[in-house]
Amino acid sequence: MSGVKSFFKNLSDKIGWNVPEIDITPKRSEEIIEKIVNYAKQWDMEDMFILGTTWFRPMSAIVGYTVILPWAPLLDMVGVSNPYEYVAFLSDHRNMQALMERLSEKKST
């Protein structure tokens, strides 16, 4: 369990707020990465996405839990399918590394 995940688990135990179990399958991670890479290629912004991912990677887990998680019910209402998957995606630094590598590959092709 990551440090951020355990922090929120401990917090939820203290205040009685139930944090849903947040996990993502490797297949779904690949789908999200491919979706982001396709947007970057479509908008011809691979360099900006690589720079943004490099900057964003160290704090992605914190942003996922503090920004996306509180908005999850609203995101679900506006049609974002299972926003908790995006929190799980951002919480795993391996996903962010894979995204950077995939963006670099697409840029060079």
Q: What Å distances lie between residue 76 and 7, 27, 91, 95, CA to CA? A: 24, 21, 19, 22
What is the per-residue pLDDT across 55-71, written as a single tens digit (0 to 9) for each?
888 888 888 888 887 88
Is 24 exposed, middle or buried, given 0-12, 13-18 or 19+ CB atoms closer than 10 A?
A: buried
Q: In angstroms, rounded to a whole number, what is the distance separating the alpha carbons of residues 89 and 79?
A: 18
- Band (pLDDT 50/70/90 cuts) for residue 28 is very high
| Side-chain-side CA neighbours of residue 60 (13 Å) | 20
Position 75 pLDDT exceeds 90: no
Q: State pTM to two decimals.
A: 0.74
Nearest to 68 by CA among 10, 13, 8: 8
Give the model's pLDDT for residue 40: 92
* CA distances from residue 10 to 6, 22, 108 in whole angstroms, order as listed: 6, 15, 44
